[in-house]
């Protein structure tokens, strides 16, 4: 039983989540590059928090492969290699393919209509050169059928892997050519779903949309630029 006025566990958790989001945002902005060392003493002083929420946040980041905690040596921001990206694409492709097939009984007309609207919104965002809006609608598009699959554990794994891919520092410019191609793939996927071809849709999402081999020409250009000068752990082709 929790006594009134005593909420230490909730406060600690809230603080830990704030620290977690702060560190992820620093990585996302490129302020913490691959190979960087996170000094716990300096970071806790700068944020004005104790080491407990900082350590808890770093443990979560380590579970998500963002950092490696080295005893008595500090915390290292992990590089994102092309081999990592290839592996993540294979796993996400396999899991999203499974999710699409599992969603077949929950894929109502309204669900497909929602995906169509998001696809139109992505095209509009591209026309306006609004990548942030495109990115948001792209995630919602995929989350629509992921949410319909009924397997929360699968969705959690996919979302954690996407964090690793998408929270890598973005370059100042983005590959519009890649996003235009991606929109075309979304429309092909929707056509399969409208026709009730769930096996074809599942194969398409795995063998085209999340195929490292198919997307490699874009991946190499985008992530090499995203790594940026000054990274201590440059990307290497698999």
| Predicted pLDDT at 226 | 53
- Interatomic CA distance for residues 190 and 66, integer angstroms: 33
The total of structural domains in the chain comes to 2
| Predicted pLDDT at 94 | 98
Same domain for 89 and 72, yes or no, is no
Same domain for 63 and 164, yes or no, is no
Please list, in sequence order, all residues whose beta carbon lies within 8 angstroms of the beta carbon of residue 43, skipping any fewer than 6 positions away.
54
For the ranges 16-20, 135-139, 152-156, 222-226, which has the lowest average pLDDT?
222-226
60: closest CA among 103, 22, 113?
Answer: 22
- Structural contact between residues 23 and 47, judged by C-beta atoms closer than 8 angstroms: no
Q: What percent of the chain has pLDDT over 70?
A: 86
- Interatomic CA distance for residues 98 and 146, integer angstroms: 9
- Would you say the pTM of this structure is higher than 0.75? yes
The pLDDT tens digits of the residues spanning 72-112 come to: 778 999 988 899 999 999 999 999 999 999 999 999 999 99
| Predicted pLDDT at 225 | 57
162: closest CA among 76, 93, 237?
Answer: 93
Same domain for 171 and 107, yes or no, is yes
Q: Would you give the DSSP letter of residue 103?
A: G
Same domain for 52 and 26, yes or no, is yes
pLDDT grade for 224, boundaries at 50, 70 and 90: confident
- Structural contact between residues 128 and 237, judged by C-beta atoms closer than 8 angstroms: no
Same domain for 187 and 106, yes or no, is yes
Q: Is residue 235 part of a domain?
A: no
The pLDDT tens digits of the residues spanning 33-69 come to: 888 899 888 999 998 988 999 999 999 999 988 999 9
Residues shown for the chain: 238
Tokens (6 digits) for 45: 């002083």
Q: What percent of the chain has pLDDT over 90?
A: 63
101: closest CA among 227, 193, 3, 218?
Answer: 193
Would the pLDDT of 223 be above 80?
Answer: yes
Would the pLDDT of 232 be above 60?
Answer: no
| Predicted pLDDT at 73 | 76
Would the pLDDT of 9 be above 50?
Answer: no
Range of the domain at 65: 8-77
Q: Is residue 19 part of a domain?
A: yes
Same domain for 13 and 105, yes or no, is no
Would the pLDDT of 176 be above 70?
Answer: yes
**73-94: b (≥16 Cβ within 10 Å) or e:** eebbbbbbbbebbbebbeebbe
- Which of these three, 22, 54, 77, is where a domain ends? 77
């Amino acid at each position: 039983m929790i006594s009134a006025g005593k909420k230490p566990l909730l406060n600690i958790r809230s603080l830990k989540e704030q620290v977690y989001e702060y560190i992820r945002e620093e990585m996302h902005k490129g302020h913490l590059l691959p190979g960087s060392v996170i000094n716990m003493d300096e970071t806790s002083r700068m944020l004005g928090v104790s080491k407990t929420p900082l350590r808890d946040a770093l443990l979560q980041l380590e579970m998500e492969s963002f950092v490696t905690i080295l005893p008595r040596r500090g915390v290292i921001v992990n590089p994102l290699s092309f081999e990592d990206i290839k592996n993540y694409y294979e796993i996400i492709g396999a899991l999203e393919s499974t999710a699409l097939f599992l969603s077949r009984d929950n894929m109502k007309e309204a669900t497909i209509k929602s995906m169509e609207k998001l696809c139109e919104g992505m095209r509009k965002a591209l026309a306006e050169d609004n990548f942030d809006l495109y990115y948001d609608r792209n995630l919602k598009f995929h989350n629509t059928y992921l949410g319909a699959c009924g397997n929360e554990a699968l969705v959690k794994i996919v979302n954690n892997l996407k964090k690793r891919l998408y929270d890598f520092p973005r370059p100042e410019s983005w590959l519009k050519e890649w996003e235009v191609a991606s929109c075309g793939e979304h429309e092909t996927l929707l056509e399969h779903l409208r026709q009730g071809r769930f096996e074809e849709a599942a194969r398409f999402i795995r063998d085209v949309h999340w195929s490292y081999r198919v997307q490699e020409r874009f991946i190499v250009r985008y992530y090499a630029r995203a790594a940026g000068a000054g990274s201590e752990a440059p990307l290497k082709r698999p």
